[in-house]
């Protein structure tokens, strides 16, 4: 399955999953840096599709990604956003990251955070905007943490 077929399949697959909830919604599909980006704007299903702590959202991504891998698709990384939940969360996290960075700059202390991989990526991106700050991750699996420190440390 080539890249365009992978995108089309992922879009249709998510639409089919959502139809089981009794709603026919339009899924917008795009591809950015070899990641299939799927977005749904469905106000009536947001809480169901996102789930507590975004567990349902992550599960949807996992199911679609696994299915693509099983079909030997060219693209298998998938990002699903429901009602711009991830976009809004990323904006809030970027603001929080800037606060952590300012605290590190002010006190000189290192910040250690317990974040999932997607959230760590956002913080690393924000930290890269600062010349005097660096961020890195330490640990394995669920024990992986983000560290924000001054470059001089």
Q: Is the pLDDT of residue 116 over 70?
A: yes
Q: Give the Cβ contact number of residue 101 at 10 Å.
A: 22
> Do the beta carbons of residue 126 and residue 101 sit within 8 Å?
yes
Mean pLDDT computed over every residue of the chain: 89
Question: pLDDT tens digits for 59-87?
Answer: 999 999 999 999 988 888 899 999 888 88
List domains and CATH numbers for the chain.
3-83 (3.30.300.20), 88-150 (3.30.1370.50)
What is the enclosing helix (H) or strand (E) of 39?
Answer: strand 35-40
Q: What percent of the chain shows pLDDT beyond 90?
A: 52
Q: In the numeric block, which tokens belong to residue 33?
A: 């840096």
d(C-alpha 2, C-alpha 88), whole Å: 31
User: Which residues make beta-bridge pairs with 79?
Assistant: 37
Global pTM exceeds 0.95 = no
Is residue 153 predicted with pLDDT exceeding 60? no
Res. 142: pLDDT tops 90: no
Q: Bridge partners of 36?
A: 31, 78
8-state DSSP, 139? S
């Amino acid at each position: 399955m080539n890249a365009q077929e992978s995108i089309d399949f992922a879009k249709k697959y998510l639409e089919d999953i959502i139809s089981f909830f009794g709603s026919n919604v339009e899924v917008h599909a795009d591809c950015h840096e070899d990641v299939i980006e799927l977005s749904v704007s469905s106000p009536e299903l947001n809480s169901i599709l996102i789930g507590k702590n975004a567990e349902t959202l992550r599960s949807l991504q996992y199911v679609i990604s696994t299915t693509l891998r099983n079909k030997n698709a060219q693209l298998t990384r998938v990002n699903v956003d429901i009602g711009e939940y991830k976009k809004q969360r990323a904006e809030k996290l970027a603001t929080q990251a800037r606060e952590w960075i300012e605290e590190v700059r002010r006190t000189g202390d290192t910040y250690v955070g317990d974040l999932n991989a997607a959230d760590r990526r956002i913080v690393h991106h924000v930290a890269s905007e600062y010349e005097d700050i660096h961020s890195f991750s330490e640990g394995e699996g669920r024990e992986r943490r983000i560290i924000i420190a001054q470059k001089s440390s």
